[in-house]
């Protein structure tokens, strides 16, 4: 029986984008380095096409379905299609929406792992620097920084207002889970050209970049946060250290965009290999 890696969904920015030089769907490279795991790679862009494949040509294959972004995973969960990701649907939906993610942390007394999150009931007459993030946007879109006393009332509706954590270094972490337990973890430590930066904004430049292995303390914290979801798959998130303590900005249950970069393609292979291993275990 042929083993097929099925990329479900498609994100153009991660496919040889002129501005980023990224190429997630690098079939020749992936086939070469995953030859012991898979025989072919295909891309299927929508749920109806996937259903047609699974009821036709896919019947004769073992299919490792790898969704690209959060909403692709949600589509698979809602359709009851088994993939390299699985999770409690209610928990997963909370992860995908920043406001409900922070509400969940508050309910579980885990907000100490983040920088302060402000609400309308707080004293807002302060020049504290904050980050204003839209609940559903990604890749630093819909993100700005301003003083707390400059935040508009309407921004509390669909945005997270979070204390800005100073520091020119930021971690871009990658985790692979199997039923709530971390089986692979590492991060890219990014050094930026300014202390007050927003990642991926045009005036923000990375001046240093290195891969680091995460210690057990960080892994234990992330397992604690993810515990209710019985999560299987990969997730990514950005964080800083503030006085030695982790400050999580968000958790994205999806492939990390950094893995689509040419200089990280060997790490993409490691993540896919681990996902396949967990699926077969």
Q: What percent of the chain has pLDDT over 70?
A: 94
Q: Around Cβ 73, how many Cβ atoms within 10 Å?
A: 28
Label the pairing between strands 206-213 and 129-134.
unpaired
Q: Is the pTM of this model over 0.85?
A: yes
Cα distances (Å, whole numbers) of residue 255 to 22, 139, 208: 13, 13, 22
Tokens of 192: 């930026």
The hierarchical CATH code for the domain 90-111+166-280 is 3.30.470.20
Tokens of 105: 């942390």
- Comparing CA positions, the residue from 244, 242, 248 lying closest to residue 165 is 242
Sort 271 into a burial class: Cβ within 10 Å, 0-12 / 13-18 / 19+.
Answer: buried
Secondary structure (3-state) at 278: helix
Lowest mean pLDDT among 37-46, 115-124, 150-159, 187-196: 187-196
DSSP string over 37-70: T-SEEEEE-SHHHHHHHHTTGGGGEEEEEEE-SH
The residue assigned the tokens 């909370």 is 94
User: For residues 206 and 176, which has the higher predicted lDDT (pLDDT)?
Assistant: 176
The residue assigned the tokens 């040419």 is 262
Quick: pLDDT tens for 232-269: 999 998 899 888 889 998 888 999 988 888 889 999 99
Tokens of 220: 């234990």
Quick: pLDDT tens for 8-19: 998 887 886 544
- Comparing CA positions, the residue from 170, 195, 183, 178 lying closest to residue 249 is 170
pLDDT average, residue stretch 127-152: 82
The residue assigned the tokens 């999150």 is 117
Tokens of 74: 């949600």
What CA–CA distance (Å, rounded) separates 94 from 72? 15
Question: Would the pLDDT of 200 be above 80?
Answer: no
CA dihedral 82, 84, 87, 90 (to 10 degrees): -70
């Amino acid at each position: 029986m042929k083993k097929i890696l099925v990329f479900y969904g498609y994100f153009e920015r991660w496919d040889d984008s002129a501005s980023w030089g990224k190429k997630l769907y690098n079939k020749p490279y992936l086939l070469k380095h995953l030859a012991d795991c898979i025989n072919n790679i295909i891309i299927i862009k929508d749920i109806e096409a996937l259903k047609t494949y699974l009821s036709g040509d896919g019947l004769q294959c073992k299919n490792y379905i790898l969704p690209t972004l959060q909403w692709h995973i949600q589509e698979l969960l809602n359709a009851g299609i088994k993939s390299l990701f699985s999770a409690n649907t209610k928990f997963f939906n909370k992860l995908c929406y920043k406001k409900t993610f922070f509400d969940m942390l508050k309910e579980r007394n885990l907000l100490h792992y983040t920088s302060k999150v402000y609400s309308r009931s707080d004293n807002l007459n302060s020049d504290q620097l904050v980050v204003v993030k839209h609940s559903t946007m990604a890749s630093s879109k819909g993100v700005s920084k301003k003083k707390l006393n400059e935040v508009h009332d309407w921004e509390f509706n669909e945005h997270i207002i979070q204390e800005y954590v100073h520091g020119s270094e930021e971690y871009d972490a990658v985790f692979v889970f199997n039923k709530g337990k971390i089986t692979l973890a590492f991060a890219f430590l990014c050094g930026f050209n300014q202390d007050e930066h927003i990642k991926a904004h045009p005036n923000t430049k990375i001046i240093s970049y290195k891969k680091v292995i995460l210690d057990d303390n960080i892994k234990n914290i992330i397992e604690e946060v993810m515990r209710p979801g019985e999560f299987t798959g990969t997730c990514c998130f950005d964080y800083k250290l503030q006085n030695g303590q982790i400050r999580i900005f968000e958790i994205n249950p999806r492939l990390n965009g950094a893995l689509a970069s040419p200089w990280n393609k060997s790490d993409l292979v490691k993540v896919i290999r681990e996902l396949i291993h967990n699926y077969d275990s």
